[in-house]
Structure 1
């Protein structure tokens, strides 16, 4: 930092700015520091991403960096002043980058004429993805006379409405919920999503891509185009005066180890190196005010984002000896005649927004659960003509080829069938009544579970809790020693726990959050509060491995406070056990971390019990837990998200907190989809070994897992492998995992048993064999095993033969690879996990019941049982059978994409009041234009359904002009429509229901 500052300052003073147009640094972090220096000195900085791909890699998993490079180069070339400096990490600049002629932009203005075919062709050549719904930069969706597009660098999309081929209106829209903003705008600009290529250039690149041998799953411009720019690319150091930092020079060897196709490294060595500054040194003053007082005679500059921050450091804004710069630069230097101090903290990278709109991913042949008829197979939506009127029906197949037709307005009666990963759905038989009996059986069991939960909660309500003082200064300072900034969720959860602990009532709180999201850090705040007040805490884990992981982490954090922490588990010797138990009883030890052996210890002043992964404890252990629960505070933690509705049901009985945001220093997991080859496996294993890491290899078949081990040993001779799966004894499995953590071997070859609960920061590559046979949620979960430290994780979804797998599997895998498949990959995974998480919270091994009726229905029934026993019983769900001779459906002329129609059918069928329907209609008009007559009639059909339910009507049918309404008590009323036209029948029905 000091070298760059000194060098550029001298250049500026001597007016030799042109002598540095390119600054070459080591990585992203150094690039950010350099950018702050360049901007502070008054130059215009343009920072390229650290592009760490190897030549020929499939670039789908580098799409973020590529988009970033496109954006930055576009801005750089369009900035026409002389005072600009391009800053690049060494790996990025060592490849040929696109020339200036590859960048362009065009505007769309109100009243412009757009020729759709030309427009589509241009956007395709410019690298835009054509999608159903635009949810991220570089995507476009063209639906009849509506164009949605999100250009690179824009947080919002732009929605263009056409009248014939003329632009009638332009509005921005939120890509999270797809709703457009009210104000119309006059114009907006579109830049390339990859490069501004013409037909010829695009053809030349595609032609070359076709001829190369690559293991890219899909060979196209997005995955390989960057490598074959040919005369469209150039090596920038050839024509720019450039300087390189010492760290970047040191990195050169590493960059070139496995590479050809990069610029000759001697070119960098010829680049004048930035000299070592004798004038400046880097500083990190602990007390800014005091530091300044020692250097009064120098020129002092304070950089701060806000005036409030200056006041917080007790500095005088009116002090004439200090120059204040209000900006976000981070620069801390002490020179012979000047001091620069920044009060700003490092700004973390912005995370991608999560899409709120989850598309319905119900696939053909997926299993579904009908509330009355049980498990069947979804066979799509088909139009059926009944009495001359056309309607859409959901087709569900049952045993014996029986077919159930469900009107789309009642699609809310079915849900995707989700059970645990090893469960296979058994299709029910229609009309046998056996599913109703099964539901009754499950209902009785669930009432017993719900009863237990409520009794426990009620008993604890009557007990006075231990009141803990949570206002101590030390508790305020504790988060600062974590070495990272807490997320908003962590801060909120700690606040909620402290409120419970200091309330005088017994705490019973559940914290849910993914592994690595900082649950233990939250728990440590509670432990510290209790210990500082003179009490003790127990931390109970399901396995010795987890106990050991937690013990090391907690002991390290509490060592500076003089708090005694011990570990008690199956591996503790008998002598140690006796000593720890005695010390716990005497009060000599404040915190003990261990497994279920802690359930029977005696303590002196126990105030808090923390239970990690509570659902992993068996029934007998639960009974012991209940005895512990009488008067101490209970804090449970779970790694699966809890469904929102169950959260509401349970929150009346226990406190609920959740961590949904990952820690800021966590890097994403670089994901690849590949066809199996010995070369690939060897490359992946050796690359991870080179950086001192270990690997997971997931092979989900116990019968052939030994053969797979032999295969890998043959591909990579000398590699150490251990196998783990569900048939291995728990003690041995624990020993294997411990050895893996101790780096005794290189590869853990496992079934999908490794999907959750493990935190092994040194294992940062995972290979998933037969990835096409896993669900999207499982793949997402497995990918989460790696990238848990500050090292980048690598995930390889491997398939045997890409020609043999379904289009749907290809879509899902590529979706996960590029992390952007309309935002539905992670959203769907989260949906599945939520449902499974709900099953876990109950803490019972209810897998039998769940397998028979699916998680979704199981949870619905549990919520109903909890609500019923809490005196908050919801009215039994009623349905209405509508047999009106009208054509009512969302037409595929209006919305072409089946999955988008399915999602709207589901949302409309679930709508419980008319205002909600009108809101969805408004959104549909905004996104797809004015509804056609059949779509309008379907929306009116939904309104008829809601009004009929309110009036307790069970059936509405029509024949010719007669419309008959049947109530629950079987009384009927028939009225007459002026004609048998659809609009008259609808209007007459609505009039009757509204009177």
Structure 2
């Protein structure tokens, strides 16, 4: 049989042109029916779902069921409310632009959308037709002309292209990211001719492959030309009465449109707007899944309600009829198209003449049964083929293991057609089919993820951001602003004042300028940028600036270096004691362990997998484990703890899991109970939320060995708790326990495996410095599907608060509202209730009785009310995936770390999450407060806990490893310098001073132009970063890689930049030999040797004796030479030759 003709629901007996209502399609059978109905139909089709979640599921499932190579695409929802003050995200607009353009080109066979999308007016189709253009290799174009077209099309000019809708121009290159492509494009010009078009990687910025042409479409839904803005303003004046000069959008449309809800005024850019129907081919067929007309009417009500409720507006809104199509218009259009309607319920009797009810049934009869009873129950009926579905490899493996336990043989199928071609039996497929159904006629049952796991796996895919760690940001000087603090290894802490080109001895050179106390300036050559790093320490107070020329900085460094040696000695002692201690070896049976892991429904990130491997290796070793796992909030540390606990408990040893709060204990208890439900391992909790009787029983069970895994707060450290056979202690956020508790932990961890978990960032290079002494693992990448939090800063705005709460509650979510003043928190509660009449609110703060506080928090966790008004007590604690909006009042009063931690309370699901930072008028804020807020608003990357914005957390993290006293020293001299001192101290104590290599940084000046010209790399921060990288290289290979990258990203190297790279190579050679300085001009040169030089004196003597008229030794331990060196290459060759003589290569 031709597999294209396999049909389970539709066949020749029930496909009738007169029938347009199909009912009794339970669960996902409705999507199967739709797939069967459309897959052999060549006409263009639109499928409408009631709301966006069902549209996403529908799109994924008809793709799976149809398998005909049809282009089935989803029109993304705007993800904003009608009259929302926020504009849609750039990613959403870029995706919608791509879909609309592909519709115009006829490249889509089936378009899926949600009902509300019908009501939003779209840009006219001629906008995309007119503004889109194609560039091909060999064509003649002006780079400026292309840049202007990109700007008009909504592309933002940036220094580095990383997102759709961005572009940059550098030298002979244009980088751009068109929404039509999965990678950005680099266009290389030869004068005004397009020489090459290349795709490049976002993270590395390096070329992937070449293509012949690129199509560029608008990345915004409105043009950004001066003519378009004038047209907009004219229409705005005509549309509204009043003083337009007072309206933010009218005044700032050219620059600040996105932040003022420009999409509420989209029709003002065009003479007329389009509907989705205008983008469709003639003869389009329409399919409606569910009660679409009711969904349209409900959205119309929401539009009218929001329009009528807008008060205190800074500018008026367009009427609904101008921004939206009416429900009546769209319903009439649907009726005109004679749609095919599909529904879960039976069709009404009144429609019997044009309706069919199919024979699908739900799985309700088996809903409360275990998996084996479901399977056997189905097999005992007329069902002879069963398909179990799951959207991830881990879930599939879990299903297969469960079936094996029940002696049920299951076979994998890769797609739906393969399943249909198989004979009777039980099958599994790695595809997310959400809801179950049975087709009685064909004897087929499909068991969906919701029945098997309670919820679907993630289907949305998001590109993870490039990995970042604090040290890379510190060293790269990325985004360093004028006025930021930097630290110079020799001269101390100063303020960065910018890069500047200066003429020195008739040669242009670029310098980084640092301002010290009393206004003294230091100009650092770019060749010595390795001595400069961003200062990570105490606040940017003027009082910490060093005095240029003073010896105070040297004294401070000397003192800190001594303390670093003490820390290194302590770490070495701990390491030595651990090395000789005999611990318990824990290794789980491989099959049991794999079965347990199959209960994890997600795919491990690369970081998670590595950390778990580290932990299991430690536990298998004979010495006791002592490992710290660092990971940002929601990055998967709990799964590491679960697998470690299983490995220990399955071997008969007890596990103690300590957490800082009773609420967290309860949450972990539920998580562990769920994961260990199939295993003979007893999970217990010791907490104030339990009765005294229950806690006493738990203590008894612990002592008798009946409790395998015990979860609790510091109560687990009580003398009343006696462990029978403790094998593993897991501590969550150790720094939140008091000194007394930490002492107990030290005693507890001596003879058992110890695993600490923290969301406090531990800088990666500190980890490297002490990595052999203290085991630290990092989870720095987010789980797939996690979306960055959208952050907004606003003055107190009732309408904005109302909107934020309504958006969240209307999608079934919850809101966190932070107000950090207990004295008037009740007044704030009343204010919020007035702003948000719909929804329930409760209060949480630190003065409440503990049980009352815990009761409120647990109610919020269980989704029993909508808004939690709380103080910063929620800064760390519960994981509440359903809370995806946080409003922080008086955000200016919080530190950067606090803001980051508070914002981390939301954004733990696949939904877009929001953070609103409410502040007083900006002119009342301090400079530091304003910079803090701007930093938190700008940084949305996931994993931000490991980058610079959380520098106070990094210092706390360093203190967590090294102690509070060392944290204080880091505050004084800066993190970067301290970690270098610590690393040197460890190496010195471990290997001996005689093994230490030369660590000087040679200062080389050959009086030649050696810089990166501004016209080659216009962005000053990119130049800073590149200078830092070049001056920090240690090998010829590193320099070669940078050279290749520069050519790839910026074009052919200018002569000055070639010189810079050659100088870097000379500097590496000189530094290795202990030459602290080289000076040279047209006629003379001089090498200055450091006391630590490794050059043999005989080599210098031989060189002087060889050419006594050229070389001479001076009393200051320098070697002078003379000659005629008019050209750059002459000087570089001469220095290379001398270096060769000095190491004995040429003697």
Confirm or deny a common fold (TM above 0.5): yes
Query: Is the contact between residue 180 and residue 217 of structure 2 (CA under 8 Å) also seen in structure 1?
Result: no
- The aligned residue for residue 191 of structure 1 is 217
Per-residue CA deviations over 1:228-276 (Å, capped at 9, x if unaligned) read 4434532336886534332656655664454243432345666464344
- SS of 1:95's equivalent in the other structure is coil
Give the superposition deviation at 1:781.
4.3
Distance 1:530 1:71, change over 3 A: same
Paired with 1:847 and 1:683, the residues of 2 have a C-alpha distance of: 43
Instruction: State the alpha-carbon separation in 1 of the partners of residues 898 and 236 from structure 2.
Output: 32
Map of 1:848 onto structure 2: 968
Structure 1 counterpart of 2:1135: 989
Are residues 1:86 and 2:86 paired? no
Give the distance between the partners of 1:547 and 1:305, measured in 2 at CA.
Answer: 30
Q: Verify: 1:234 aligned to 2:274, yes or no.
A: yes
Specify whether residues 982 and 758 from structure 1 end up closer, same or farther in structure 2 by C-alpha distance, changes over 3 A only.
farther
Alpha-carbon distance in 2 for matches of 1:202, 1:404: 46
C-alpha distance after superposition, 1:852-875 (max 9, x if no partner): 122333333333334444438753
Kindly indicate whether the alpha-carbon contact (under 8 Å) linking 1:649 and 1:867 is maintained by their aligned counterparts in 2. no
Among 352, 370, 373, the alignment partner of 2:463 is: 352
Distance in 1, matches of 2:600 and 2:941, equals 36
CA contact 2:527–2:1003 (8 Å) conserved in 1: no
Quick check: 1:396 aligned with 2:528? no
Aligned to 2:999: 877
- 1:783 aligns to 2:903 (yes or no): yes
Q: Match of 1:76?
A: 103
Range moving further from structure 2, 46-55 or 808-817? 808-817
Give how far 1:136 is off.
1.9
* 1:376 counterpart (494, 497, 503): 494
The structure 1 residue matched to 2:483, chosen from 365, 384, 403, is: 365
Measure, in 1, the Cα distance between the counterparts of 2:224 and 2:785. 40
Q: Distance in 2 between matches of 1:241 and 1:815?
A: 50
TM-superposed deviation, 1:290: 7.9
Instruction: Tell me the equivalent position of 1:179.
Output: 206
Q: CA deviation at 1:382?
A: 2.4
**C-alpha distance 748-878 of structure 1, shift in aligned 2 (>3 A):** farther
1:497 counterpart (615, 630, 650)? 615
Q: Secondary structure at the match of 1:103?
A: helix
Aligned to 1:413: 531
What is the CA-CA distance between 1:106 and the residue it aligns to? 2.7
Q: 1:869 to 1:597 in 2, by over 3 A?
A: farther
SS in 2 for 1:137: coil
Q: Which moved more, 1:943-952 or 1:444-453?
A: 444-453
2:1025 maps to what in 1? 903
CA positional deviation for 1:900:
0.9
Moved more, 573-582 or 677-686: 573-582
Is the alpha carbon distance of 1:8 and 1:178 closer, same or farther for their aligned partners in structure 2, counting shifts above 3 Å?
Answer: closer
Distance 1:399 1:572, change over 3 A: farther
Q: 3-state SS of the aligned residue for 1:98?
A: coil
Go from structure 1 to structure 2 and tell me whether the alpha carbon gap of 1:977 and 1:889 turns closer, same or farther (over 3 Å shift). Answer: farther
For 2:139, the equivalent position in structure 1 comes to: 112
In structure 2, C-alpha distance between the alignment counterparts of 1:133 and 1:948, rounded to whole Å:
34
Matches within 5 A, 1:149-548: 149-181=176-208, 184-195=210-221, 197=223, 204-205=231-232, 219-220=256-257, 224-230=261-267, 231-236=271-276, 242-246=286-290, 251-252=295-296, 255-260=299-304, 261=320, 262-267=324-329, 271=334, 273-275=341-343, 276=345, 277-281=357-361, 313=411, 330=433, 334-338=438-442, 348-355=459-466, 360-419=478-537, 426-471=544-589, 473-482=591-600, 484-548=602-666
Other-structure match for 1:946: 1068
1:766 aligns with 2:806: no
Conserved? CA contact 1:776–1:828, under 8 Å? no
Q: Relative to structure 1, is the Cα distance of residues 540 and 39 closer, same or farther in structure 2, using a 3 angstrom cutoff? A: closer
**Aligned-residue offset at 1:466:** 1.7
Listed one character per residue, the Cα deviations across residues 450-478 of structure 1 (whole Å, up to 9, x for unaligned) are 33333223222222222334116443222
Q: 1:785 to 1:823 in 2, by over 3 A?
A: closer
Q: State the partner residue of 2:1034.
A: 912
Segments of 5+ residues of structure 1 without an aligned counterpart are none
CA distance in 2, matches of 1:505, 1:917: 42
Larger radius of gyration: 2
Q: Deviations over 1:718-754 (max 9, x none)?
A: 9968686xxx78x979975764454499454546x75
- 1:233 and 1:675, CA in 2 relative to 1: closer, same or farther beyond 3 A? farther
C-alpha contact (below 8 Å) 1:71/1:153 kept by paired residues: yes
Separation in structure 1 between the aligned mates of residue 883 and residue 947 of structure 2, nearest angstrom: 25
Report the TM-score when normalising by structure 1.
0.86
In the alignment, which residue of structure 2 is the partner of 1:923?
1045
Which residue of 965, 974, 983 corresponds with 2:1120?
Answer: 974
- 1:234 aligns to what SS in structure 2? coil
How is 1:535-614 mapped onto 2 (pairs within 5 angstroms)? 535-561=653-679, 563-568=681-686, 578-599=696-717, 600=719, 601-614=721-734
Distance 1:429 1:188, change over 3 A: same
Structure 1 residues 178, 38: CA separation in 2 closer, same or farther (over 3 Å shift)?
A: closer
Of 63-72 and 318-327, more deviation after overlay is shown by 318-327
For residues 673 and 987 of structure 2, what CA distance do their matches in structure 1 show? Answer: 42
Aligned-residue CA RMSD (Å): 4.6
Q: CA deviation at 1:139?
A: 1.4
* Displacement after TM superposition at 1:987 (Å): 3.7
Shift of 1:985: 3.4
Which of 130-139 and 788-797 deviates more?
788-797
Return the alpha-carbon distance in structure 2 between the equivalents of residues 800 and 452 of structure 1. 48
Alignment of 1:689-708 (within 5 A): 695-697=815-817
Using the size of structure 2 for normalisation, the TM-score is 0.75
Give the direction of change, closer, same or farther, for the CA distance of 1:9–1:917 in structure 2 (3 Å limit): closer
Change (3 A) 1:609 1:438: same
Indicate conservation of the 8 Å contact 1:947/1:994, yes or no: no
> Does the Cα contact within 8 Å between 2:462 and 2:787 map onto a contact in 1?
no
Distance between the aligned counterparts of 2:710 and 2:185, measured in 1? Answer: 57
CA distance in 2 between counterparts of 1:876 and 1:904 reads: 24
Whether the aligned pair in 1 keeps the contact of 2:537 and 2:951 (CA below 8 Å) is no
Decide whether the 8 Å contact of 2:47 with 2:289 is kept in 1: no
The separation in 1 between residues aligned to 2:75 and 2:43, in whole angstroms, is 19
Q: Given the superposition, is the C-alpha separation of residues 614 and 820 from structure 1 closer, same or farther in structure 2, using an over 3 Å criterion?
A: closer
| Contact kept in structure 1, 2:501 and 2:510, CA below 8 Å | yes
The 1-side partners of 2:874 and 2:977 are apart by 27
Report the CA distance shift for 1:854/1:942 in structure 2 as closer, same or farther (over 3 A): same
Structure 1 residue 796, shift from structure 2 partner: 1.4
| Aligned-residue offset at 1:415 | 2.0
Per the alignment, in what secondary structure is the counterpart of residue 97 of structure 1?
Answer: coil
1:407 positional shift:
1.9
Q: Provide the C-alpha distance between the structure 2 equivalents of 1:290 and 1:570, rounded to a whole number of angstroms.
A: 44
- Asked if the contact 1:468/1:533 (under 8 Å) is kept, the reply is yes
2-side partners of 1:639 and 1:820: how far apart? 17
- Contact kept? 2:31, 2:61, Cα under 8 Å: no
Q: Deviation per CA, 1:619-654, whole angstroms, max 9, x where unpaired?
A: 443333222222211111111343332223343234
Q: Does 2:53 align with 1:31?
A: no
Aligned-pair distance for 1:964?
1.0
Match of 1:140 among 148, 152, 167: 167
**CA offset at residue 551 of structure 1?**
3.2
Contact 1:2 1:281 in 2 (8 A): no
**Do the aligned residues in 2 keep the contact of 1:380 with 1:395 (CA within 8 Å)?**
yes
Q: In the alignment, is the contact (CA less than 8 A) between 1:61 and 1:671 conserved in 2?
A: no
Cα distance between partner residues in 1 of 2:585 and 2:376: 41
Shift of 1:45: 1.9
Matching of residue 684 in structure 1 with residue 752 in structure 2: no
- Counterparts of 1:823 and 1:139 in 2: how far apart (Å)? 23
User: Could you tell me how far apart the structure 2 residues matched to 1:746 and 1:374 are?
Assistant: 49
